[in-house]
Structure 1
């Protein structure tokens, strides 16, 4: 099943969800209300190739915890994402076993193309 991991309180996520085609068949997963599991994160890592690709360096905690001045390993990225939902780059779409991470214009274009090909 196609899925979106998002944050309901995030304005950007809400705007993106409103822009989705009406015929989408997504399962919505609010990562604040329902934290992601180890299994879900591992599936995302398999599709993306790394935990770092899923990690948001734009998160306020990234700066406040001074993580930008530390050398993080894949295990560190995994640990931080599981401990604090804000470290997951949002939104994360899984459509037909392909993953789309983040809200860049290029990424959202790829998501819309994926819906067009469903």
Structure 2
């Protein structure tokens, strides 16, 4: 269950194909936080979890993660995510661990 939001914020989570999309809006309707998740092949993947700078330190990132997680279909699915250095601070407060650092990969058009 996702925790309650601070006063003035509204959460929307919709399940589409293939991803679950979450948005938290501020009182004025502007985007405060967002994120995506997809479940496939025994893995539940969180992606692009973002809290806009003006709305940080209010619990919105954790609330977004919980809202997306509540849509997981299989209890057996392993949860994974890829985080930036900034994101790692949030995830560590939610008891996530870093089993392996990642590398950036750029895939370009191949030559014939």
TM-score (norm 2): 0.24
Q: Is the radius of gyration larger for structure 1 or structure 2?
A: 2
